[in-house]
Copies of this chain bind each other. A is one copy, B any other.
Amino acid sequence: MRDDFLNIRHIEPDDCNAIFEVPSDWWGSNYSSDMISKWYIHHFRDTCLLAEENGKMAGFLIGFLSQSEPNESYIRIVMVDPAIRGKGVGRALYEEFFKRVGMLGRSVVRCVTAPGKKDSIAFHTRMGFIIEPQEQEYEGVPVFINYDGRGGNRVLFKKVLQKMENH
């Protein structure tokens, strides 16, 4: 894939139909989140991004600027068309997110993954995230127990953005 065929832009309300149709295919199972909704992408427009390859949706990213932590931003959901994985769509979405939240004054990006998702852990490490140390480990990976409060355990990633003047 050449970069000039990949366009990253905000998710618009009209994109929602296309987004709702993909998750069971792209995610690998049914995925439910009230952040995948028209009202969410309206109120969090700056941090909801869509990647298009030749005009066709290739992936999307849904995140937010933390209200409580003024330096932090959070990537909540990322999905990429399984037919074109490994071609840089995820990287392009993350890099655009880093750029935009950096311009909005955020110096930290956080996200999480399930401890069994080795590909996701490798991807985030390549993208410059560090894994936050924890008391517990799962197969050698630090794991935060009961992350959501409902018993789910997660690997916690943190990336400190380089200041623009260092580029």
Contacts and interface: CB of A to CB of B under 8 A. Distances in A.
Interface residues of A, number: 33
A3 B45 CA distance: 39
A47 B104 CA distance: 21
A46 interface: yes
B39 A68 contact: no
Given A32-B32, A43-B74, A37 B67 contact: no
Contacts of A4: none
A55 to B, nearest CB: 21
Interface stretch (A88-96, A115-123, A142-150): A142-150
A148 B39 contact: yes
A139 interface: no
Given A38-B148, A147-B38, A147-B39, A44 B68 contact: yes
A84 interface: no
Interface stretch (A12-20, A124-132, A159-167): A12-20
A148 B146 CA distance: 29
A64 interface: yes
A39 B32 CA distance: 17
Contact of A150 (B20, B72, B146, B148): B20
Contacts of A16: 149
Nearest to A34: B33
| Top-8 shortest CB links A-B | A16-B149, A38-B149, A45-B68, A37-B148, A43-B66, A44-B67, A33-B34, A43-B68
